[in-house]
Chains A and B, each alone.
Chain A
Amino acid sequence: MTRISPGRLALGAFSCAILAILIAPILIIFLVSFTPTQMLEFPPSGFSLRWYEAYFGDAMWMAATRLSFLVAGLTAITSLVIGFAISIALVRYRFPGKTALRMLVMSPLILPKIIIAVGLYFLYVRLRILGTTGALVIAHTIIAVPYVVMIVTASLYGFDRRLEWAARSLGASPLRAIWLVTLPNLRPAILGGGLFAFVASFDDIILSLFLTRLTEPTLPRQIWVNVQQTIDPTIAAVSTFMTVISVLGLWLVALAQRRSRRSA
């Protein structure tokens, strides 16, 4: 057994405190969502599912939930298609402006989201598509593609292209070779990228705030509206639901990534 120095002990105590603070707010929301009382209380005085019933029984909350799932699902598909094309170009082609393309595609990760929201707001008002589902999907695609590109390029670099050439030499067309050989091999990356895009859309609040109608909000926007008005424990139940969806989704991404790395 090694001796533990006082410095090491202090570092451990400090780090544990930070880690505890990192998880505490999420745990608190989780526990508070089961409170039987009208008020948010911690620790809850009992256990009740009434706020989950309030959430799942409310037409407005359900409409918002459905819209969020629909937009996130569509965003996952569009950003996979666009992100996959960009990834192939970045990994397999050499052309002038490649670095610029990467910067362009990746910049929504860093650019203040409100800038993207304001710019698209101006555009959508002019095109008279503000508040439509498609318009929101497009906006979410812009912010979701970088995640797809990050995951798919990493996986493409690790892909043995000789498999594809073998298919080509056996007479497959380029598209057919990609469809039959490359895509199945990149399944973990595609799954991961799609899930990442889904969660990026599902969790977005700023673009939703600017680009949806108040009468047809996404789930985060509905939370936002309610937070301004009441401290209703229903929000804690909805928040717990949202957290479970996002954490589950991204945990699956991590699993898929680890599996693909092991098999590579």
Chain B
Amino acid sequence: MAETMAHANDAAASAAASPAPRRLSAGRFPAFLIPVLVFYALFFGYPLARIFWQSVHGEDGFTLVGFEMFFEEPAYWMVLAYTGALGLVTLSITLVCGYAVAYWLVTMNRSWAVMLMAFVLIPFWSSGLVRTYAWMVILGRQGILNSVLLDLGIIDTPFAFIGTNTAVVLALAYYLMPYMILSLYSVMNGIDRNLMLAARSLGASPIRAFREVFLPLTRPGVLAGCYIVFMLGIGMYITPAMLGGPQQTTLPLMIAIQINEAMDWTFAAALSVILLMVTGGMQLMANRFLDFERLWGGAK
């Protein structure tokens, strides 16, 4: 419909004005994109390609030493496994908590929900660094949690929360929770709740109506939320860096150490390639389940 209208108007416009607005017709590559593509090739394509190139090049040319180092040392596999596990644990926590919150918000009075949404949006809009720093203030040796626990007499000496898995998981789940809630909320908001009423009126219990009608309809939101949380979770640098100890080393952390401290570009690049492979693999899986046109707000 829009297309035919476009053509009709095209014809009208080219009859009225010269030069003919040929660019409105479909199928031609927009020339103004060429500088944009050059920009992306130089500052996005080339850096990514350079990582691959660097991962197999040392000082004396071609080498596989970066990947050999990784695969010969089980401690490095553990880093990879820890990164994945951290992503999965964070994902589970945000999914369970986020689903409850999103469901609660979507089933309440709308004006209340809009107001309560501020509790999700303000952290969502704040810098990740500030929010991670806040957890340092709370969980630090002289932090708020320790002083409260000391005052209450629950502990005698300050507990070292920082450097534990709990601290990293907590702060990471905290950071990613708004992404999950917002993904779920936007999908839940579009579900016609009369469907639930219909199920109820046909004799389904509230739980059954939820499980068999509502839950399947939220699938796109669940998948989108899981995808975003997992992808951001495994790539997160500052949370494990600020709240973890040596035991909480993740792949992004190791990459930074190789660049800043060990100055081993080949190994850093090899680790980056491994991280890229993991995210690329997840992306391929996600391509089968997710409608990216919708996720990126492309199609209406």
Contacts and interface: CB of A to CB of B under 8 A. Distances in A.
Contacts of A96: 29
Contact of A40 (B27, B137, B237): B137
Contacts of A138: 43
Interface string B92-134: 0000010011011100000000001001111101111111011
A11 interface: yes
Contacts of A236: 137
A67 to B, nearest CB: 16
Nearest to A125: B265
Interface string B73-101: 00000000000000000000000010011
B66 interface: no
A-B pairs, top 8 by smallest CB distance, nearest first, are A119-B47, A112-B235, A25-B134, A203-B127, A15-B104, A94-B26, A250-B125, A19-B119
For the residues of A in contact with B, the DSSP-based class is: helix
A103 B284 CA distance: 12
Contacts of A29: 130, 133-134, 137
B226 interface: no
A15 B107 CA distance: 12
A144 interface: no
A39 interface: yes
A145 to B, nearest CB: 9
B92 to A, nearest CB: 15
Contacts of A66: none
For the residues of B in contact with A, the DSSP-based class is: helix
**On chain B, which size bracket covers the interface?**
35 or more
Nearest to B18: A171
Contacts of A25: 123, 131, 134-135, 137-138, 174
Nearest to A146: B296
A23 B104 contact: no
Contacts of A20: 119
Interface of B: 6, 9, 12-13, 16-17, 21, 23-24, 26-30, 32-33, 36, 39-40, 43-44, 46-48, 50-51, 54, 97, 100-101, 103-105, 116, 119-123, 125-131, 133-138, 140, 142-144, 147, 174, 177-178, 206, 227-228, 231-232, 234-238, 242, 252, 255-256, 259, 265, 268-269, 272, 275-276, 279, 283, 292-293, 296-298, 300
B142 A89 contact: no
